[in-house]
Amino acid sequence: MGSIPVSVHQDAKKSTLVVIPLLMEKKKIIEIFVDLGFLVMAYLLAFYFTSNGVMSAKAWLFFQNTLPFVLFVQMLCLVLFKVYRTVWEHYSFLNYLGLFKGLGLGFFVFISGMVFFPTRLWGSPLVPLLDCLLAIFFLSAIKTLGSAFKEYFVSKRKSGLHVLIYGAGDAGVLLLRETRNNPKLNMKIVGFIDDDLQKKGLLLHRVPILGSKADLSDLTQKFQVVRVVTAIPSRQNDAVQKMEKICQDLGLEHMVMGDIVKTL
């Protein structure tokens, strides 16, 4: 069978580089439209709750007329605080803080509108406060649930080599996330091992800490482990060299974090 021309590989690589940003852009557009839907719901519920569940015709008309302005201000504030520059699957405390700041700024703009353009149609002054609180709740909840659902389903993936991570710390968590987010690594993390015996039995991102390296022989048989990855970047480490010796004796493959990076 003839070899594939180099130009074909180059064209395929270029196509991949073009498609990935487009897919990311589509995901971001979907995220924005979902957020807009919840912002509309928050604004409507703010009117509903502050009017005892009965909105007058004038209040309903005012809601419809002001909704585009309110949404524009809120989305602009969220953009200013870089909410949509974050991948929603990896939301952190700082990302939620940006969300709170953006919607908080929108609240102050809303209040300013009530002060400088007073009218009875605004309804209760609690409307902007309730709208802000509901918007924070809805947007935080949907981003948290989205991230949690993805992590849950990825953690249930059954395919891949059964792997133990040696080191139940921050580096081990980074390694776990990389194996979950990158199916090309073809690894299913069945657990952690750590020299700190007090960690045994605990869960780290829903993955159990099964014991220490002294338990490796039993764990290998119980979970059909074929590889141990040490959560240390370099092999120039005493703990790494000891683990390599143990893995050799047990017939296991051993890798460090640096080896994982090279495969990406």
Give the pLDDT mean for 209-230: 93
CA gap 139, 145 in Å, rounded: 10
156 confidence band (pLDDT: 50, 70, 90): low
pLDDT tops 90 at residue 164: yes
Residue 4: its pLDDT value, please? 43
Residue 247: its pLDDT value, please? 93
Express each pLDDT in 104-142 by its tens digit: 999 998 888 777 776 655 566 788 899 999 999 999 998
Residue 262: its pLDDT value, please? 67
Express each pLDDT in 40-57 by its tens digit: 999 999 988 888 778 778
Residue 186: its pLDDT value, please? 86
CA gap 184, 10 in Å, rounded: 20
Q: Kindly report whether the global pTM for this prediction surpasses the value 0.85.
A: no
CA gap 196, 167 in Å, rounded: 9
Residue 38: its pLDDT value, please? 96
Question: DSSP characters for the chain?
Answer: -PPPPHHHHHHHHHHHHHHHHHHHHHHHHHHHHHHHHHHHHHHHHHHHHHTTT---HHHHHHHHHHHHHHHHHHHHHHHHTTGGGS-GGG--HHHHHHHHHHHHHHHHHHHHHHHHS--GGG--THHHHHHHHHHHHHHHHHHHHHHHHHHHHHHT---SEEEEEE--SHHHHHHHHHHHH-GGG-EEEEEEE-S-GGGTT-EETTEEEEE-GGGHHHHHHHHT--EEEES-S-S-SHHHHHHHHHHHHHT-EEEEHHHHHHH-
Is residue 95 within 8 Å of residue 132, measured between CB atoms? no
pLDDT tops 60 at residue 8: no
- Map out the domains of the chain as residue ranges: 6-154, 161-263
Give the pLDDT mean for 203-215: 90
Is residue 110 within 8 Å of residue 131, measured between CB atoms? yes
| pLDDT higher at 88 or 52 | 52
Fold of 161-263: Rossmann fold (3.40.50)
